[in-house]
Chain A
């Protein structure tokens, strides 16, 4: 396998991991939403992410060409083999916490996907084209909620500010580059995420300011997801997500 092909396989896996982990976290709200419509909205957004993960994994499986399929990528790898950003795996927390995480992720995809659309790799570009349209709707919802909660009651403001403070240190990792991603960025296949932080920060700052939330200082950062070093939360999540598949190996329905 050429270096570029191997890097593309790794890249598609990373993007798939981000999507499936966030998609699963969002799905944990189903039947716990504050009201029916919101419950359904969570289910819809979750499906969009899981659909995205399926597209990335199917492509990764095609590149790997070793007999694995999308399910093997999702269900047969352990936490140390997952390469998702830590932000995506944080537990759902309270409603403010989930919406703030969602805002950080939605703004990230808002700046990332138009770049991925330009990829020389046709499959990555096609996945970006589908995802861009969905992300517009996702962002409008998370933005509305953060405004409403931040600029809401004393309690909702307090919780939103706390969520922003707790999650801020997990956002730096989104803009890290390593050798694999640098190689792909140089080839016009991957995105140079290190160039996206300014745009991300501006959008997030504008929204948080409007929501009367203080943007935290960059005083701490946690990293490790892209190299397989996760918080303990991912292992617990995968246990639940993978149990049915692992208990019934090879089962098709």
Chain B
């Protein structure tokens, strides 16, 4: 049976915002900027890119960190400025906004698919435990799709991921935590 994919409200709002912008070409342009830790995802896919505004000749880009200490933010700011500079926008300001706090719900459907193909289980590939945190087992293996998996560590290669291992194919894999 085919599943009907439902888009969470947050994602729908983001998509509406993007389509309604009068600077649509800038949103498209910034699809070139990837997350340095997960290079298959653009900052749009991840939900890090919050807003783009034009004020006269300057472009103001608003981004939000996934986790407080995400060391990728400085890189991302530099990359955003570089891409826009190369496209002829000389005056670029990158602002960091903390509120509303980033949520994994903001990740685009395309981003979730790309994550899985890259070998990282997206947030919805595990049923959360009663506290709403990463469970200790059964995140779906992105390699062989088995649910027979176990959590090896709450904290993976970056703050946004936990480490799992598949009991069937034995491959370790990262799980993108739901927050």
Q: Do A and B bind each other?
A: yes
Which residues on A are within 8 Å of B, measured CB to CB?
23, 37-38, 40-41, 43-52, 54-55, 122-123, 125-127, 129-131, 133-134, 136-137, 140-141
Task: Give the most central of A23, A134, A137: most B CB within 10 Å.
Answer: A137
25 contacts between A and B (CB under 8 A): A37-B152, A40-B153, A41-B153, A43-B155, A46-B69, A47-B71, A48-B67, A48-B159, A50-B69, A51-B65, A51-B67, A51-B70, A52-B69, A54-B69, A55-B98, A126-B98, A126-B101, A129-B99, A129-B100, A129-B101, A130-B67, A136-B131, A136-B133, A137-B154, A140-B133
Kindly list chain A residues whose C-beta atoms are within 8 Å of the C-beta of B100: 126, 129
Kindly list chain A residues whose C-beta atoms are within 8 Å of the C-beta of B133: 136-137, 140
Docked Cα-Cα span, A133 to B68, in Å, equals 10
Contact of A41 among B68, B134, B154 (CB under 8 A): B154
Kindly list chain B residues whose C-beta atoms are within 8 Å of the C-beta of A40: 153, 155-157, 163
Known: A44-B159, A130-B67, A140-B154. 12 other contacts (CB 8 A): A38-B153, A40-B156, A41-B153, A41-B155, A51-B70, A52-B69, A126-B98, A126-B100, A127-B98, A130-B102, A137-B155, A140-B133
Kindly list chain A residues whose C-beta atoms are within 8 Å of the C-beta of B71: 47
The binding surface of chain B is classed by DSSP as loop
User: Are A133 and B154 in contact (CB-based, < 8 A)?
Assistant: no
> B38 near A: Cβ within 8 Å?
no
A41: nearest chain-B partner, CB-CB = B155
A144: nearest chain-B partner, CB-CB = B154
Task: Give the most central of B132, B153, B155, B159: most A CB within 10 Å.
Answer: B155
Number of interface residues of B (CB under 8 A): 26
CB distance from B110 to the nearest CB of A (A): 24
Docked Cα-Cα span, A149 to B154, in Å, equals 18
Kindly list chain A residues whose C-beta atoms are within 8 Å of the C-beta of B132: 136
Docked Cα-Cα span, A48 to B71, in Å, equals 10
Kindly list chain A residues whose C-beta atoms are within 8 Å of the C-beta of B69: 23, 46-52, 54
Docked Cα-Cα span, A142 to B177, in Å, equals 18
Kindly list chain A residues whose C-beta atoms are within 8 Å of the C-beta of B102: 130
CB distance from A198 to the nearest CB of B (A): 22
> B158 near A: Cβ within 8 Å?
yes
B64: nearest chain-A partner, CB-CB = A130
Contact of B154 among A52, A126, A131, A141 (CB under 8 A): A141
Docked Cα-Cα span, A129 to B68, in Å, equals 10
> B179 near A: Cβ within 8 Å?
yes
Docked Cα-Cα span, A43 to B158, in Å, equals 9
Docked Cα-Cα span, A48 to B177, in Å, equals 15
Docked Cα-Cα span, A38 to B163, in Å, equals 11
Docked Cα-Cα span, A54 to B65, in Å, equals 12
User: Are A131 and B68 in contact (CB-based, < 8 A)?
Assistant: yes
A136: nearest chain-B partner, CB-CB = B133
CB distance from B62 to the nearest CB of A (A): 13
